[in-house]
Amino acid sequence: MASISSDLTAEISDPITAVTSPATPQLPADLPKLIDLGGIACPAIPEAVEDTGLDAAFIRDLGLRLANSVPNFTTDWAAGQLCLPMQIVDEAFWQMKDDKLVEILGQKGPFSYQYAITGRGREHAQRLLEISGYVGPAPVSLESYTALLDWQIAQRPLVTSQAVRDTISELVMPEHSVQVAELAVSSGRSLFLFGPAGNGKTSLGRMLHNAIDEDLWIPHCINIGNNVIRILDDQSHEVVDPPADSAGKVDRRWVRIRRPMVVVGGEMTIESLDLSYSKALRFYEAPMHVKANGGTFLIDDFGRQRVDPAELLNRWIIPMEHQVDHLTLHTGQKIIMPFRLMLIVATNLSVDSVADPAFLRRMGYRLHLDKPTPEIYRKIFRNYAARFGIEVSSELLSKLLERYEREDRDLRCSEPRDLVERVRDACRLRGEDLRIDQQLLDIAWAGYFGNQ
């Protein structure tokens, strides 16, 4: 879990601790103010409009679109929907009241009023909706998003060799393969996995992600001018609880998530790597690799996408070299987004058919996961069977390996698991205790390979 590193001392600012230090290098100007809550650095709640990084007019426009979506509402409800402090929301709606865009229906508490949008307000809201249909938590600026992402990554502890080994301990790999995996994760560089199908490329890619155990702050969305880009995604991000005692102290426009891992396969297209604009909603969805920022982006089954591999590879060259990506708004405007992630590319096709030398030079590390030797196959089989308390005799494994050779089948790292699982199916069907013998293994073999 990311926390405030020891090189950032704290000055007490009652009732919260501000993350500042005159002894450390100057922090980026766009980095949001951070506070320490239980050792976790958190974006501080903005105290004024200037602290949000947004124009007051942008906040009013967002509030008016929200007001247009309901018959009436209260100040505290609007503050909850916009994820902004009450005083900032109250200031915005009082200005809208003065402009006759909303009207007060009554008071609902010491600092909360009940409002309804006026006819003039609805006309103005309709014009705003033609520009942007976004209604929801207020965005943060692209600059703040980039600055906090970079700051969090900079605070990340170094990954140890043992952490990587513990993470991939379920896999049986040659020592040189383990060392390459360690280097890739500890350096944060990209990794190109290749080799025959069924030998652990996808499993290794997923496991390596877990070598870094960390939570991150990301925004609900960001804005560029009047354009809103949604970042938070229920499918890609696992939200975790904020630190205890954070109510009224943490900027709710930011959400704490588990370090993300995004996996894409054959469904990926070149269009999916750019901003997705909804003409109906009139705002943008960030592409999957942007949602993976701070984490891992795994391109599985590379070369089987509905686009030429060379085109995809060319798309990644600049992001890999400069850690930024250039995305295009529907107006044609180019924006620069951070590309701060571990890129893992996995393929079972021949390297020459999917990657050219220029791309491979830019990959941090390359790892060939070949078919296992008979010794490694034996170890994988025994390890998987041992999970269920089963011992497998050397004689049974020798006969199994002889059958592979007799039928001229390549060994695959995934097949011990698949055969053991089918033995379990047979025992379960018979109502017998789990065991592995020649008869059950023959049944599993026939069911898996489709022959006797």
In the chain, DSSP finds a helix count (H) and a strand count (E) of 17, 21
DSSP strands (E only) in 70-199:
73-74, 102-109, 112-117, 140-141, 191-194
Shared domain check, 344 and 195:
yes
Q: From 66, 96, 129, give the residue that closes a domain.
A: 129
pLDDT tens for the 452 residues of the chain, in order: 444 433 333 332 333 334 444 444 567 789 999 999 999 999 999 999 999 999 999 999 999 999 999 999 999 999 999 999 999 999 999 999 999 999 999 998 777 899 999 999 999 999 999 999 999 999 999 999 999 999 999 999 999 999 999 999 999 999 999 999 999 999 989 999 999 999 999 999 999 999 999 999 999 999 999 999 999 999 999 999 988 888 899 999 999 999 999 999 888 888 889 999 999 889 999 999 999 999 999 999 888 877 888 788 788 888 988 999 999 999 899 999 999 999 999 998 888 877 778 778 888 899 999 999 999 999 999 999 999 999 999 999 999 999 999 999 999 999 999 999 999 999 999 999 999 999 999 999 999 998 76
Query: Same domain for 206 and 268?
Result: yes
Domain count, the chain: 3
145 assigned to some structural domain? no
pLDDT at 305: 79
Closest of 50, 340, 54 to residue 224, by C-alpha: 54
Residue 149 resides in a domain: no
For residue 320, the domain's CATH number is 3.40.50.300
Residue 334 corresponds to which tokens in the numbers above? 């180019």
**190 lies in the same domain as 270:** yes
Residues 312 and 179 in one domain: yes
User: Do 80 and 194 have their domain in common?
Assistant: no
Structural contact between residues 61 and 72, judged by C-beta atoms closer than 8 angstroms: no
Tell me, yes or no, whether 416 lies in a domain: yes
Q: Which of 129, 157, 189 is the last residue of a domain?
A: 129
Q: Is residue 79 part of a domain?
A: yes
167 assigned to some structural domain: no
Measured distance CA(9)–CA(170) in Å, rounded: 40
Tokens of 414: 């995934």
Residue 441 lies in a domain: yes
Distances (CA, A) of 7 to 3, 23, 25, 31, 212: 11, 9, 10, 17, 21
Does 185 lie in the same domain as 309? Answer: yes
Closest of 60, 34, 26 to residue 254, by C-alpha: 34
Domain check: are 321 and 443 in the same one?
A: no
The per-residue pLDDT for 302 is: 86
pLDDT for the residue numbered 317: 83
* CATH number, position 407: 1.10.8
Range of the domain at 121: 55-129
Q: Which CB contacts under 8 angstroms, 24+ apart, belong to 174-178?
A: 174/376, 177/367, 177/369
- Predicted pLDDT of residue 25: 55
User: Are 282 and 410 members of one domain?
Assistant: no
The answer to whether residues 426 and 279 belong to one domain is: no
pLDDT at 452: 60
Does 187 share its domain with 326?
yes
**Cα–Cα separations (whole angstroms), residue 357 to 128, 250, 312:** 50, 47, 14
Answer yes or no: do 198 and 346 share one domain.
Answer: yes
Residues in the chain, how many? 452
208 and 308 both lie in a single domain:
yes
pLDDT of residue 399: 97
Domain boundary among the residues 368, 387, 405 is at 368
Output the pTM of the full model.
Answer: 0.87
**Is cis: bond before 357, omega within 30 of 0?**
no
- Classify residue 317: in a domain, yes or no: yes
Give domain status of residue 385, yes or no. yes
